[in-house]
A and B are shown apart, each in its own frame.
Chain A
Amino acid sequence: MKTIVEFKRVCKTYGDKENLIYALRDVSFTICQGEFVVILGPSGAGKSTLLNLLGGMDDVSSGTICINNQQIEVLSETQLADYRAKQIGFVFQFYNLIPTLTAFENVALMKELKKDVLSAQEALERVGLKAHQHKFPAQLSGGEQQRVSIARAISKKPALLLCDEPTGALDSQTGMLVMKQLKDMCKRYGHTTIIVTHNSALKNTADKVIYVKNGMIENVVTQEHPCDIDAVNW
Chain B
Amino acid sequence: MLIRKMLRDLRANMSQFLAIFLMIFLGVFIYTGVNSEWNGMRVHAQKLYRETELADVWVYGTGFTKQDIKQIKELNEVTEVTRRAVIEATSTINKKQKLTLYLDESNTLSQPKRMQGESYSPDKDGIWLDQVFAKENHIRVGDSYSLQVNGFKITKPVKGLILHPELVYQNTAGNIIPDHKNNGYACISMNHFTDQYTIPYTQLLIKTKVPQKMEKLISDKLQKNNLVFMERKDLPSYSMLEDEITQHQAFGEVFPIVFLLIAVLTTLTTVSKMIMNQRLLIGILKALGFKNRKIIFHYFSHAMVIVILGAILGYLIGPLVVPTFIYPMMSAIYILPQLHAVPLDNSLYMVIGSISICFMTAFIVCYRHLKEKPADAFRSANISYKQSHHKPNSLIKRANFCAQWNIRDILRNKLRSLIAIIGVTGCMGLLICAFGMQDSMNHMINMMFHELQTYDMRVQIDETADLKVLKSKMNGNAIQESAVEMKFNSVKKTGSLTVQESTKYLKLQNQDLHTVSLPNNGIALSYKLAESFGLKAGDSISWRIIGSTAWTKSKINAILHTPSSQGITMSANSFIQSGHSFLPTSVVGKAADIKTLSGIKNIQYLKTDIESSMDQMLDGMMVMIAILIMGAVVLGIVVLYNIGSFSYLEKVRDLATLKVLGFHDHQVKKLLRQQNLWLTICGILLGLPFGYALIYTVISTVGDSLDVLIVIQPSTYIGCSLATLLVSALVMRIVSRKVKRINMVSALKIME
Interface: B654 (CB within 8 A): yes
Interface: B714 (CB within 8 A): no
Once the chains bind, are B662 and A82 in contact (CB under 8 Å)?
Answer: yes
Once the chains bind, are A58 and B409 in contact (CB under 8 Å)?
Answer: no
* Interface pick from A37-45, A134-142, A192-200, A210-218: A134-142
Once the chains bind, are B409 and A113 in contact (CB under 8 Å)?
Answer: no
Query: In the assembly, what is the distance between CA of A83 and CA of B664, in Å?
Result: 11
- Once A96-B748, A134-B391, A138-B388 are accepted as A-B contacts, the answer to whether A101 and B662 lie under 8 Å apart by CB is no
Interface: A88 (CB within 8 A): yes
- Once A78-B664, A82-B662, A101-B408 are accepted as A-B contacts, the answer to whether A112 and B657 lie under 8 Å apart by CB is no
Query: In the assembly, what is the distance between CA of A85 and CA of B660, in Å?
Result: 8
Residues of B within 8 A of A138 (CB): 383, 385-388
Residues of A within 8 A of B400 (CB): 112
| A33-61 interface code vs B (CB 8 A; 1 in, 0 out) | 00000000000000010001001011000
Interface: B663 (CB within 8 A): yes
Once the chains bind, are B667 and A112 in contact (CB under 8 Å)?
Answer: yes
Residues of A within 8 A of B364 (CB): none
Interface: A21 (CB within 8 A): no
Query: In the assembly, what is the distance between CA of A101 and CA of B657, in Å?
Result: 13
Once the chains bind, are A81 and B663 in contact (CB under 8 Å)?
Answer: yes
Once the chains bind, are B662 and A102 in contact (CB under 8 Å)?
Answer: no
Once the chains bind, are A85 and B409 in contact (CB under 8 Å)?
Answer: no
Residues of A within 8 A of B744 (CB): 52, 57
- Once A98-B405, A100-B412 are accepted as A-B contacts, the answer to whether A113 and B661 lie under 8 Å apart by CB is yes
**Count of interface residues, chain B, beta-carbon cutoff 8 Å:** 33
Query: In the assembly, what is the distance between CA of A93 and CA of B663, in Å?
Result: 20
Interface: A109 (CB within 8 A): yes
Once the chains bind, are A92 and B748 in contact (CB under 8 Å)?
Answer: yes
- Once A77-B665, A81-B665, A90-B661 are accepted as A-B contacts, the answer to whether A99 and B385 lie under 8 Å apart by CB is yes
Query: In the assembly, what is the distance between CA of A48 and CA of B746, in Å?
Result: 11
CB distance from A76 to the nearest CB of B (A): 11
Interface: A184 (CB within 8 A): no
Residues of A within 8 A of B389 (CB): 139
CB distance from B125 to the nearest CB of A (A): 89
- Once A96-B748, A134-B391 are accepted as A-B contacts, the answer to whether A85 and B661 lie under 8 Å apart by CB is yes
Once the chains bind, are A139 and B392 in contact (CB under 8 Å)?
Answer: no
Interface: A105 (CB within 8 A): yes
Q: Which residues of A104-144 have CB atoms within 8 Å of chain B's CB atoms? A: 105, 108-110, 112-114, 134, 136-139
Once the chains bind, are A58 and B401 in contact (CB under 8 Å)?
Answer: no
Query: In the assembly, what is the distance between CA of A134 and CA of B745, in Å?
Result: 29
CB distance from B723 to the nearest CB of A (A): 32
- Once A81-B662, A84-B661, A85-B661 are accepted as A-B contacts, the answer to whether A101 and B405 lie under 8 Å apart by CB is yes
Interface: B751 (CB within 8 A): yes
Determine which of B387, B392, B412 lies in contact with A102 in the assembled complex, contact meaning CB atoms within 8 Å: B392
Once the chains bind, are B751 and A94 in contact (CB under 8 Å)?
Answer: yes
Query: In the assembly, what is the distance between CA of A57 and CA of B405, in Å?
Result: 24
Interface: A86 (CB within 8 A): yes
CB distance from A111 to the nearest CB of B (A): 8
**Residue in B closest to A98 when the chains form the complex, CB atoms:** B654
**Residue in B closest to A105 when the chains form the complex, CB atoms:** B404
Determine which of A52, A83, A105 lies in contact with B401 in the assembled complex, contact meaning CB atoms within 8 Å: A105
Once the chains bind, are A92 and B408 in contact (CB under 8 Å)?
Answer: no
Once the chains bind, are A57 and B660 in contact (CB under 8 Å)?
Answer: yes
Query: In the assembly, what is the distance between CA of A88 and CA of B744, in Å?
Result: 15
- Once A112-B667, A134-B391, A136-B388 are accepted as A-B contacts, the answer to whether A84 and B660 lie under 8 Å apart by CB is yes
Interface size, A (range): 35 or more
CB distance from A1 to the nearest CB of B (A): 26
Residues of B within 8 A of A99 (CB): 385, 654
Query: In the assembly, what is the distance between CA of A70 and CA of B387, in Å?
Result: 43
Residues of B within 8 A of A134 (CB): 391-392
Once the chains bind, are A100 and B387 in contact (CB under 8 Å)?
Answer: no
Residue of B388, B412, B662, B745 most packed against chain A (CB within 10 A)? B662
Query: In the assembly, what is the distance between CA of A82 and CA of B391, in Å?
Result: 33
**Residue in B closest to A77 when the chains form the complex, CB atoms:** B665
Interface: B164 (CB within 8 A): no
**Residue in A closest to B664 when the chains form the complex, CB atoms:** A81
Residues of A within 8 A of B408 (CB): 100-101
Once the chains bind, are B387 and A113 in contact (CB under 8 Å)?
Answer: no
Determine which of B391, B405, B663, B748 lies in contact with A100 in the assembled complex, contact meaning CB atoms within 8 Å: B405
Query: In the assembly, what is the distance between CA of A77 and CA of B665, in Å?
Result: 9
| A133-165 interface code vs B (CB 8 A; 1 in, 0 out) | 010111100000000000010000000000010
**Residue in B closest to A92 when the chains form the complex, CB atoms:** B748
Residues of A within 8 A of B409 (CB): 100
CB distance from B562 to the nearest CB of A (A): 59
**Residue in A closest to B392 when the chains form the complex, CB atoms:** A102
- Once A136-B388, A138-B383 are accepted as A-B contacts, the answer to whether A88 and B748 lie under 8 Å apart by CB is no
CB distance from A234 to the nearest CB of B (A): 22
Query: In the assembly, what is the distance between CA of A99 and CA of B662, in Å?
Result: 18
| B367-401 interface code vs A (CB 8 A; 1 in, 0 out) | 00000000000000001011111011000000011
Residues of A within 8 A of B749 (CB): 93
Query: In the assembly, what is the distance between CA of A90 and CA of B745, in Å?
Result: 13
Residues of A within 8 A of B404 (CB): 100-101, 105
Determine which of A85, A92, A110 lies in contact with B657 in the assembled complex, contact meaning CB atoms within 8 Å: A92
Once the chains bind, are A81 and B659 in contact (CB under 8 Å)?
Answer: yes
Query: In the assembly, what is the distance between CA of A137 and CA of B383, in Å?
Result: 11
Interface: B83 (CB within 8 A): no
Interface: B653 (CB within 8 A): yes
Once the chains bind, are A85 and B663 in contact (CB under 8 Å)?
Answer: yes
Residues of A within 8 A of B386 (CB): 138
Can you sample 10 A-B contacts with CB below 8 Å? A48-B745, A81-B663, A84-B660, A85-B661, A88-B662, A96-B654, A110-B661, A112-B400, A138-B387, A139-B388
Q: Measuring CB to CB, which residues of chain A are less than 8 angstroms from any residue of chain B?
A: 48, 52, 55, 57-58, 77-78, 81-86, 88, 90, 92-94, 96-102, 105, 108-110, 112-114, 134, 136-139, 152, 164
Given contacts A82-B662, A98-B654, 7 further A-B contacts (CB under 8 A): A57-B744, A83-B662, A84-B660, A96-B660, A100-B405, A101-B401, A109-B661
Q: Measuring CB to CB, which residues of chain B are less than 8 angstroms from any residue of chain A?
A: 383, 385-389, 391-392, 400-401, 404-405, 408-409, 412, 653-654, 656-665, 667, 744-745, 748-749, 751
**Which 5 A-B residue pairings sit nearest by Cβ, starting from the closest?**
A85-B662, A84-B662, A100-B408, A96-B657, A99-B385
